[in-house]
Amino acid sequence: SVEAEVGRVGRCPTRAQLASAAFWTMVAGAAPRVVIVPGNGCDDLVGANWYLWMAERLRAEGHFSEVVARTMPDSHAARRKFWLPFMLGALAVDDSTIVVGHSSGAVATMRFLEDHPTRGAVLVSACHTDLGDAGERASGYYPPSGGPWKWSRIRSNAGPTGGNLLVLHSDNDPFIPRDEAEHVASSLGVPCRIVPGRSHFFKPCEELIQAVYEVSFPDGGYEPIASSK
């Protein structure tokens, strides 16, 4: 049992133990792994938005078995036929994985969840329509050409009991209207957290880290250790 394992290492674990992914793996089973799926247009993740910042931050905090952030194939068009197989194969997204998807990456994550189980997902700047953009329409994600959204499948494949999802959006996103994200959240029956003044989430911010922790540890008890400030 968890109680027995904690007792075996001592009733008062050290700070080093509390910051160790190995400790939590022993106590509570497998620590979650995190895969970050970026938005389109990123030829190289170095210096792109917050992706490597998040990866380094989560690794440093030590509560995750692995944190993966890689440049995606077909990075500008972000087409479904390339991204979903890459997520399944190269990124090894599985039922131990928390997926953090941003913009096109959030949409790709939603389609991925229609067919594959995960441990949960954070959907940052998500939408459900192509917003009248020809390039987005050609990506293959959106109805009608991409098929209807299978909301119940997305929900059921997010976490062991389903529904382990959080939609994160800004009140001044210049590309994706707020009602797009709210529709996604409502269709999935999950929270839509509106953060003031974060635009399209181009820059690092604590709200991103907190969202990952909430989905990774839905029972609570674990908070970010480090600070970007």
Q: Give catalytic residue positions.
A: 103, 173, 200
Please list, in sequence order, all residues whose beta carbon lies within 8 angstroms of the beta carbon of residue 48, skipping any fewer than 6 positions away. 38, 42
Backbone phi and psi for residue 168, each to the nearest 5 degrees, phi listed first: -120, 125
Planar angle of CA 16, 21, 24, nearest 5 degrees:
90
Beta bridge partners of 100: 36, 122
Instruction: Report the C-alpha gap between 137 and 156 in whole angstroms.
Output: 26
Closest of 154, 175, 14 to residue 102, by C-alpha: 175
Residue pointed to by tokens 């989560």: 58
| H or E element in which residue 89 lies | none
**Beta strands 165-170; 120-124: pairing state:** parallel
HEC string of 144-175 equals CCCCCCCHHHHHHCECCCCCCEEEEEECCCCC
How is residue 151 written in tokens? Answer: 């909301």
32 preceded by a cis bond (ω within 30 of 0):
no
Q: Which amino acid is at 24?
A: W
Q: How far is it, in rounded angstroms, from Cα 76 to Cα 78?
A: 5
